[in-house]
Structure 1
């Protein structure tokens, strides 16, 4: 079983096909090249509907979804204090939708995953 799962995560578009309703994923919101966390609400016909952690919803191609892979030490960009500006940082802690960020400029913040993204 482990070999099969590893194969699913290493095969381009097969990644998205491995997702099921309720899974936490990263979606390429509006095809802009940034990956935002959310939960799969619906799957069918080569499409996945995601409820992003910030509350937005979007139906996208299975190719615009990948497994949620954020972990401590990973580089992300976050909307610092919800002010609309995106700043680079590193995930310092992670518990569900609560995320601690150590920004590249030395600031620190605990925020929600819905305010963060990756490229």
Structure 2
């Protein structure tokens, strides 16, 4: 039992340290504050130089921003997000039920469920 507790504590420490790290390397999957709108969208860093990074968002948009407008990708199962249900244009609140690359399962607050792409979702 002691080894199980020690392992759980070690995993918790590793997880808390990972959330503090700043993504800044080409290829890192990150969340960017697209156009400073206050929402965090997933994407991949295309390039990094001089305190700025160019993000290729999962929906295809691109933007160059300062590192302060980027944070490590931290979406996990159970986290609250908003997604564009069936790509219809409106954003609806829900929780992540599954993650696999750019595929994401969502259980919406109104009871609907869907598997969509991360490019159709955002977080606060």
- TM-score interval (norm. to shorter): 0.7 to 0.9
TM-aligned CA deviation for residue 46 of structure 1: 1.1
Report the number of matched residues.
Answer: 111
**Are positions 1:112 and 2:117 aligned together?**
yes
Instruction: Identify the match of residue 37 of structure 2 among 32, 38, 43.
Output: 32
- Which runs of at least 4 in structure 1 moved beyond 6 Å after TM superposition? none
How well do the aligned residues superpose, as a CA RMSD in angstroms?
Answer: 1.7
SS of the residue corresponding to residue 34 of structure 1 reads coil
Consecutive unaligned residues in structure 2, runs of 5 or more:
1-12
Residue 114 of structure 1: SS of its match in structure 2? helix
Counting only pairs closer than 5 Å after superposition, residues 1-119 of structure 1 correspond to structure 2 as 6=17, 9-10=19-20, 15-16=21-22, 18-119=23-124
Deviations 1:51-94 (A, max 9, x none): 00000000001000000000100000000000100000000000
Which has more helix, going by share of residues? 2
Residue 19 of structure 1, CA deviation: 2.4
Give the TM-score normalised by structure 1. 0.88
Q: In structure 2, how many angstroms separate the alpha carbons of the residues matched to 1:51 and 1:62?
A: 14
Query: Which sections of structure 1, spanning at least 5 residues, go unmatched?
Result: none
TM-score (norm. length: structure 2) = 0.84
CA contact (8 A) 2:24 2:67 kept: no
* Bigger Cα Rg: 2
